[in-house]
C-alpha cells in the first residue's frame, strides 16, 4: 500500500463527523442538495429554541417532523465501522460528532470516546424538572405536544437547538482532544456550524495535520494537508486502512 505522508507516525487521531457520514445509513444531511433544510426550509424554524418554547404549534410540528432526523431504524455504515475498527487496531481515536444519531457507538466505537457535541436523539429531557426518558417512549405515547409525566413541563429531545449554547465543559474537552491529536480528520461536515467547526483550526494551530473528507468545499479547506472529495463510504475505510497500516509499520 502506498501510504500518504499525513498517515505516517500517527497514533493519536481526532475525528470530527457531520451529517454526511450518516447519509449512507439513510439519514439525510442538512445542507446538501437533498438536505433536510434545503428541501424543507420551514423545518429550520421548528428547531429554533426560542420558537420551540414560545409556541405550542411549533412544538406540535416539531414532534411530527422528528421522524426525519430520528434515525432509530438506521444502521452504521462502512465509514462508522471503519472508525471503530481503527480504534480496535490500537490507535488512540476520539470522535467528536455533530450528529445526534448514535451510530458511532452502535458501530463499536467506545462510548466514552465519542463526544456528542450537539446532543443525542436517543433521550428526551424535561426542561423544567430535568427528568430524562427514552425518546422512543415519548414518541410511542402518540401525543402531538408531549409533556413531562412527572411535572407537566415541556419536553425536548436532548439535542442542541438553534439558538442554544453547546455544553461548555463538553466543548472544552473536545478542544483538548483536538490539541492533543497528531491527525485531525473532518468527515461529512460543511464546517459552517461553529464552534464545532473551529476545532479544525484548534487542531492545526496545535500542530496536527488536517484531512477533510467532504463532497463540497468548506471554509477550512485551505488549512488542510489533504482534501478528499471521494464518497465517504469509500474514502473513510481507505484512509483508516492507511492510518492502521502506518501504525503497524511504526510498531
**CA-based Rg of the chain, rounded to a whole angstrom?**
19
Q: What share of the chain is helix, strand, coil (3-state, %, to 5)?
A: 40, 20, 40
Query: Nearest-CA neighbor of 21 among 87, 90, 100, 93?
Result: 100
Least confident of 27-36, 79-88, 165-174, 194-203: 27-36
Fold of the CATH domain 1-27+75-118+166-251: Rossmann fold (3.40.50)
Enter the C-alpha cell of residue 107: 458501530
Least confident of 1-10, 110-119, 166-175: 1-10
pLDDT band at 28, cuts 50/70/90?
A: confident
Fold of the CATH domain 30-70+122-159: SIR2/SIRT2 'Small Domain' (3.30.1600)
pLDDT band at 71, cuts 50/70/90?
A: low
195: cis peptide before it, omega within 30°?
Answer: yes
Contact (CB, 8 A) for 16 and 184:
yes
Spatial distance between the Cα atoms of 186 and 163, rounded to a whole number of angstroms: 24
More confident position, 163 or 187:
187
Query: Which residues are identified as catalytic?
Result: 118
pLDDT band at 247, cuts 50/70/90?
A: confident
Where do the domains of the chain lie? 1-27+75-118+166-251, 30-70+122-159
Contact (CB, 8 A) for 166 and 107:
no
pTM: predicted TM-score of the whole model, two decimal places? 0.90
Longest dimension (CA), the chain: 61
Amino acid at each position: 500500500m502506498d501510504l500518504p505522508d499525513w498517515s505516517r507516525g500517527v497514533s493519536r487521531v481526532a475525528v470530527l463527523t457531520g451529517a454526511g457520514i450518516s447519509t449512507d445509513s439513510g439519514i439525510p444531511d442538512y445542507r446538501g442538495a437533498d438536505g433536510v433544510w434545503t428541501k424543507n426550509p420551514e423545518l429550520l424554524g421548528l428547531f429554533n429554541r426560542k420558537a420551540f418554547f414560545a409556541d405550542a404549534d411549533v412544538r406540535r410540528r416539531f414532534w411530527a417532523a422528528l421522524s426525519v432526523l430520528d434515525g432509530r431504524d438506521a444502521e452504521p455504515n462502512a465509514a462508522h465501522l471503519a472508525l471503530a475498527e481503527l480504534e480496535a487496531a490500537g490507535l488512540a481515536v476520539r470522535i467528536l460528532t455533530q450528529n445526534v444519531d448514535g451510530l458511532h457507538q452502535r458501530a463499536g466505537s467506545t462510548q466514552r470516546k465519542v463526544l456528542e457535541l450537539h446532543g443525542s436523539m436517543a433521550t428526551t429531557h424535561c426542561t423544567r424538572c430535568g427528568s430524562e426518558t427514552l425518546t422512543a417512549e415519548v414518541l410511542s405515547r402518540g401525543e402531538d405536544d408531549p409533556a413531562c409525566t412527572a411535572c407537566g413541563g415541556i419536553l425536548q429531545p436532548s439535542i442542541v437547538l438553534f439558538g442554544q449554547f453547546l455544553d461548555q465543559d463538553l466543548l472544552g474537552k473536545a478542544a483538548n482532544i483536538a490539541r492533543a491529536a497528531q491527525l485531525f480528520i473532518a468527515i461529512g461536515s460543511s464546517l459552517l456550524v461553529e464552534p464545532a467547526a473551529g476545532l479544525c483550526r484548534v487542531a492545526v494551530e496545535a500542530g496536527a495535520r488536517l484531512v477533510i473528507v467532504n463532497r463540497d468545499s468548506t471554509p477550512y479547506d485551505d488549512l488542510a494537508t489533504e482534501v478528499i472529495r471521494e464518497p465517504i463510504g469509500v474514502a473513510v475505510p481507505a484512509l483508516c486502512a492507511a492510518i492502521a497500516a502506518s501504525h503497524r509499520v511504526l510498531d
